[in-house]
Structures are given as structure tokens and as C-alpha cells.
Amino acid sequence: MQTAGDVKVVGKATRYVNVIDFLKKYGVGLALVVLIVLNCVITPNFMSVNNMWNIVIQSSTVMLVALGMTIVIATGGIDISVGSIMALSSVAFVHFLPHGVWVSLVAAIVVALFFGFVNGGVAAFFRIEPLIVTLATMIMIRGIAQLITDGRVVGFIHTEFTQIGYYRIGGIVPIQLVIVAVAIVVVYFLLKKMTFGRYVEAIGDNRKAAQLAGINIHVTLIWVYVIAALMAGFAGIMETARLSAADANNMGMLIELDAIAAVAIGGTILTGGRAYLWGTIAGVYIMQIITTMVNMNNIPHAYSMVVKTLIIIFAVYIQRSND
């Protein structure tokens, strides 16, 4: 027989579960709206057209990397080598630039594809934890990039290619927005409209069950890491166009952390099983808006790191609650 006290406890528990479920479904969107409203109040010229485009441009490389990272994390894996792949793809592009832009593009993409294949192949066939595999390749790849450039920033002069980094369609829309939009559409179709997406989520949910269901685990994982590396390679090329230089020491440094944070904030569970693409997109903009807010209000950058950390911890807590 339930007492009045028991009913109150059950009622509170039910309300708690309902709040957690609401935050899981709509928390990232709500956080994005709150951040935008807050900045409209406290940040001068936040809603100006130029500032909105700046947010799009500055978040574009993280967005590309985060889209690939979403697929990786949905399998229950992780890839912390993407920043180094960005750097080496950039170095490869600049190294082959005297032979023409198209040769340089192919070289940069081949480099990214190769190391994506290495990451996926080692993780899949040797059953080594992806964190360990990509930690090793992260160190190796950046080391290779630094050896090729002798640790120096390598600049170049190529007016047509450099202009791509600043090109605006119709003089208004940054080219980065188009590139990001195309990448989002491609990843959306991979995850939501093709069997590949179901394979990815099945592997993350239960690898043994996926194997018993006839899914080729090895091939799928290789493709997952190849796609993540390809996204990182394109991000490196975009950054190279913007900077007119290849910086093996700093390009892509710690971008994997921003990407993982955006994916976690967006609701993709770090243990795998489900990919929330739209959540990742919102998560990237949340991270960038926090940085913009700090910069435009002359707040020390360290505060943005603290705020981002708290948001990540809260997001992971919400994921783990009521599982």
C-alpha cells in the first residue's frame, strides 16, 4: 500500500525523469537559443551581419571535423588524430602546389585517406582501442608534417587559391557556408538515408550483435575513419586557403577536442549507438558563440575554456542519466 510520502517521492522522480528526457531531446537547441538571446543583450553588434558571417567562417573547420567525429563516436570509437591530419594535408597541399592546384588537392586528399585507412584498419583488424591507435597516429602524423617543413611555417603566393578562403558568393555569402552545407548534406545521407548509417549505429550499440546480423564490421569501421580523415583533410585545405600558409606546428592543434565537445553537447552518446547530426551542428555553433562572446566582451579567453568544460560535463551527465 502506497503512502502519501511514497506518492510524493514517485512524483518527484517522474518529474526528474521528464526533465532529463526533455533536456536530452531539446537541451542543445535550447542552449543555443539562450546563448543567442544572452548575446543580443550583453554583446554589442552581436547580431550584425558581419558578425554572423564571422561565426560561420570561424566555425567551418571545426564543423567539418565534428561531422566526421560524429560518425566515429556513433560506432563507440574516437579519433584524436584529425588535427594532425589537417596539418599534414595542408603541408602536402603546399608542397605540391608548384605542380598545380589540382595536383595539390589530390595529394592532400590522398594523405588524409591513407591515414584514415590506417586508423580504421588497425582499430578494426587488430582490435586495438581507437583512442590508442589515433593517439599514436596523431603524434606520428604531426611529426611527419614537421619533418617535411623543418618545423617552419611555409607560406605561398597563389592568388586564385588564396581568394577562395575569402570568396563570398554574390559578395555576401562566404564560400565556407556552401562547403559546410554540402558536407552536412553528404553526412546526413550517409547516416539517415543509407544502410551505412544503420551499420554505424548497430556497431556502436552492440558490436557482437551487429556481426551476427551479417554486418561487415571491419569494412564499415575502415570507412568510418576514412570519412573522418577526409573531413579533416578538407578542413586543412580550407584553413590553408585562409592563411596562405601551412603551419605544421599549430594547424589543427586541439581541434579534435572542440569537435568531440560539440558532438557530446549535441547528444551523440560517447559510448556509441546513435548519431545526432543536428545536435552536433548546434554544438559547434554553441562552442563558437561562447568564444565570440568572450572575445567581443574583452573577457579573458580562459573563462571560455571554463564555460565550455562545464557545458561538456553537464551534457555528458544528461546523457548518462536515466539510461
Residue 5 pLDDT > 80, yes or no?
Answer: no
pLDDT in tens, 250-266: 999 989 988 998 998 88
**pLDDT band at residue 310 using 50, 70 and 90 as cut-offs:** confident
3-state secondary structure of 71: helix
117 burial type by CB count under 10 A (0-12 exposed, 13-18 middle, 19+ buried): middle
pLDDT higher at 21 or 239:
239
Q: Average pLDDT in the 121-134 region? A: 93
- Give the model's pLDDT for residue 14: 59
Q: What is the mean pLDDT of residues 16-36?
A: 73
Between residues 20 and 153, which one has the greater pLDDT? Answer: 153
Whether the predicted pLDDT of 273 surpasses 60: yes
Please give the full DSSP string across 152-190, using - where no structure is assigned. -EEE---HHHHHHTT-EETTTEEHHHHHHHHHHHHHHII
Instruction: For the chain, give every domain's residue range.
Output: 24-316
- pLDDT value of position 8: 53
pLDDT tens digits along 172-208: 888 899 999 999 999 999 999 899 999 999 999 998 8
Matching residue, cell 551581419: 49
Burial of 102 (0-12, 13-18, 19+ CB in 10 A): exposed
Does the predicted model carry a pTM greater than 0.95?
no
* pLDDT per residue as tens digits for the range 205-258: 998 898 899 999 999 999 999 999 999 999 999 999 888 889 999 999 989 988
**Higher pLDDT pick, 31 / 138:** 138
Q: What gap in Å lies between CA 308 and CA 16, rounded to an integer?
A: 25
pLDDT of residue 315: 75
The residue count for the chain: 323
pLDDT (0 to 100) of residue 303: 81
* pLDDT at position 313: 81
pLDDT of residue 116: 97
Can you tell me the distance from the alpha carbon of 43 to that of 145, in angstroms, rounded to the nearest whole number?
39
The pLDDT value given to residue 1:
53
CATH topology of domain 24-316: ABC transporter involved in vitamin B12 uptake, BtuC (1.10.3470)
DSSP, residue by residue, 2-47: --HHHHHHHHHHHHHHHHHHHHHHHHHHHHHHHHHHHHHHHSTTTT
pLDDT at 20 over 80: no
* C-alpha angle 319-322-323 in degrees, rounded to nearest 5: 70
Residue 10 has pLDDT above 80, yes or no: no
Contact 286/262 with Cβ under 8 angstroms?
Answer: yes
pLDDT class for 11, splitting at 50, 70, 90?
low
Q: Name the pairing type of β-strands 153-155 and 245-247.
A: antiparallel
- By the 10 Å C-beta count (0-12 exposed, 13-18 middle, 19+ buried), 222 is classed as buried
Average pLDDT along the chain: 87
**63-115: pLDDT as tens digits:** 999 999 999 999 999 999 999 999 999 999 999 998 988 999 999 999 999 99
